[in-house]
Structure 1
């Protein structure tokens, strides 16, 4: 995984010739995935299937003086939400009354999906999910809600205000894309009501499915959005910008990203502490963000989650959290340590109920250079008592790594010179990426060494086992092949690794890597089997043994297609040819039985 400033990295990654290695998905070359058999045809899509591949539904949430928030419309009308899900959407779709959000505001939330309900498009969407980066895979067990809230004075209403939210409910974490989509749909909806919503949904149902790596043109409300969803084969830190072409006369909006938030804008109030915040997120520590509005709360939580990219944040996170949430009691109890979660809140009530949390970030406006200077010190938790507490980071945490003064000076200089926000964001994103890569490369290298030697793979034996992860053995590798090869930062790297190995983020990362390596072993075993002369082999077999071999090979073929094993092009076709050839050596009655496709 080479990147600027990675001197010594090439020597670190040299390997014995016969050792099997698996590149993590994030490190694969940008020119595309490994060949996986023959390309699958896109399944036959029914009405609303294309819509469902992007969105679960669209909700309109209004405010009734007697009932409070209520879901007024769900579209398409056949979309299903449980009463608990509707209640969550109602409360999370409105800013807290203290936020004072007049006009239009956008934010996002995340809530638990009701247990036991599965999408009918599950298998179909998994096909696309495989090529997505780990941080962009659809969210198992959770929905995202993307909100466009309007609050304007209206004397004709009892309350004196018009208050309504248009909410997109989706499994996809494409925050930038969905906010851009809402900017097109919501103002039209507030003006023209439901017929406009129906037209938008019909537009979405004609979109191509959200396939990573393809340039997608999405017509909506008379304009065309053009974008590209990243793939797990893209090189981290690079963005394949979508270019306009002469044939794009209709394209109105080109999105440079579908999911990235502006890191510098989010971290500006606390940017003296970005390195410590990176450590807290990496280790899965309990964090709460207290912000003046749901927009700032949700953006900051999403920025925190993305600062360890390309690692996936594997704990729970709630970009906007309210006292009505079903997890409220679980998260505010003082009888046990807070769980591994990042919460974004706006209600001042949380300043009291979450006082016992170990790490609190207060976001507020930074108006003067003097105020910025005050942010340099980490504040003590006991000082977080009142509503008027100053912005900053409140924690007793002592970072493992020494502070990187260079990045702080670089960003400060940018503020003084009024460097464009996009440039500041790019600098910060690059910094986080290199820091995460320096941390993860030694783990990647060690885990790759757990693969068996290629010569140990025999077509006539089960694939060899991976060696188990040994923490002490890994720690010994850090002396010669640790992060010091790619990072200038000093500090207690060993302590940081020990803590990380106990975190949900390590558990999630290692499970994913182990699954990739096991699939690689299965693929190599399949390829070795295809290189054998099976017709010669079965000459020594009895009829029963030959039938048994056919059944096992058919099972392997079915599993390889289901798991999308990373085999060489043509391998699955070759295996099918082997099966057909062996079947022809058997009596006709058996041939007829074995040629039948397996029952689903």
Structure 2
């Protein structure tokens, strides 16, 4: 119980009744164990949501960050801007989804997730633990013709920034909210963020119902105590949910089969933590996350970037010729990297959304 003393303000005036109600309701919330920090439940899942647009004068620029009080450094904002748009020229119109991983700025406060009370990371499998030094970005990019825009095209990305490697969950979430956001803009995004702020925290071993935009996603958070080969989904307590929940079989695993068939031998290099650049003109991030799932419960111990561009803040670090290349996996879509890394990396080129072997050194 938190001690609380009400005293008269200076001048002998009494507090207005509305203030007293506010104070007592706050104390009751604390006593009931409700989060007392704004957006506490939201931050269990996401760091923030960003909208990145193309500005004719500035280039790629962040149009909106939600919640508004989230503090991103200028370096982080710049990285998110460049990583949220396709790096290679694409004349394809429509919607594209991909994911990236970026290094946090030095000195950033990581929050209570990484203190002694970090129960999530203690109970989660190694590959699903929250990141201490990196953010994941989950992107929904739209490019369509628009005569009302000077450039002739509407180009915008909705980005979910998180410390959690829940690639399947967040990409599924984007499929639900992004098309609606592009139609209704900020009010829609605000409503979605408020719904996420009501979600229960991700607890390893529990099955959760996550309502958003009129649907309910049912997911199970894996635990380090799960048996290999066990069923990824388990029904929780029976509830009369309306609408009926959409069950996601997994929050992080992607289709492994095509990856194994199309890239024989590459897994050996990755398992040995050798420096690798993988070039594909489609879902490059897909291959990397598939690989990490395939070696579970082990965790890949070196650095990796599912989507890397020439504007990345680590570009110079990775391309310097004065020292051996770092042990890092880079997923890229720009053919420029074939020349840049031809003497120092293993290069794999793929075609379109498949990973057909074209050139391998």
SS of the residue 2:205 aligns to: coil
Does residue 112 (structure 1) correspond to residue 103 (structure 2)? The answer is yes
CA contact (8 A) 2:98 2:139 kept: yes
Distance (Å, rounded) in 2 between the aligned partners of 1:161 and 1:136: 38
CA contact (8 A) 1:226 1:253 kept: yes
Cα RMSD, aligned residues only: 2.2
Q: Which has the larger radius of gyration?
A: 1
SS of the residue 2:120 aligns to: helix
Distance (Å, rounded) in 1 between the aligned partners of 2:316 and 2:32: 45
Structure 1 residues 406-417: aligned runs within 5 Å = none
Q: Which of 271, 277, 295 matches 1:288?
A: 277
Distance (Å, rounded) in 1 between the aligned partners of 2:32 and 2:127: 24
Change (3 A) 1:307 1:356: farther
Corresponding position of 1:394: 360
What are the ranges of 5 or more consecutive residues in structure 1 without an aligned counterpart? 1-40, 376-390, 396-600
CA contact (8 A) 2:84 2:159 kept: yes
Change (3 A) 1:196 1:92: same
SS of the residue 1:330 aligns to: helix
Does residue 145 (structure 1) correspond to residue 137 (structure 2)? The answer is yes
Distance (Å, rounded) in 2 between the aligned partners of 1:283 and 1:97: 29
Structure 1 residues 417-566: aligned runs within 5 Å = none
Structure 1 residues 231-246: aligned runs within 5 Å = 231-243=223-235
Aligned-pair CA distance for 1:323 = 0.1
Distance (Å, rounded) in 2 between the aligned partners of 1:219 and 1:125: 27
* CA deviation vs aligned residue, 1:25-63 (integer Å, no higher than 9, x gap): xxxxxxxxxxxxxxxx99641231000110000000000
SS of the residue 1:235 aligns to: coil
Does residue 251 (structure 1) correspond to residue 238 (structure 2)? The answer is no
Corresponding position of 1:183: 175
Aligned-pair CA distance for 1:171 = 0.2
What are the ranges of 5 or more consecutive residues in structure 2 without an aligned counterpart? 1-30
Aligned-pair CA distance for 1:359 = 1.6
CA contact (8 A) 2:279 2:347 kept: yes
CA contact (8 A) 1:359 1:393 kept: no
Q: Which of 226, 245, 266 matches 1:277?
A: 266
Does residue 57 (structure 1) correspond to residue 48 (structure 2)? The answer is yes
Change (3 A) 1:56 1:365: closer
Give the length in aligned residue pairs: 328
Q: Which of 270, 281, 288 matches 1:301?
A: 288
Aligned-pair CA distance for 1:351 = 0.9
Task: Identify, as 1 or 2, the structure richer in strand.
Answer: 2
Change (3 A) 1:165 1:124: farther
CA contact (8 A) 1:292 1:364 kept: yes
Distance (Å, rounded) in 1 between the aligned partners of 2:86 and 2:299: 28
Distance (Å, rounded) in 1 between the aligned partners of 2:267 and 2:285: 17
TM-score normalised to structure 2 length: 0.86
Structure 1 residues 567-586: aligned runs within 5 Å = none
Distance (Å, rounded) in 2 between the aligned partners of 1:363 and 1:242: 37
CA contact (8 A) 1:134 1:232 kept: yes
Change (3 A) 1:98 1:288: same
Distance (Å, rounded) in 2 between the aligned partners of 1:147 and 1:179: 8
Task: Identify, as 1 or 2, the structure richer in helix.
Answer: 1
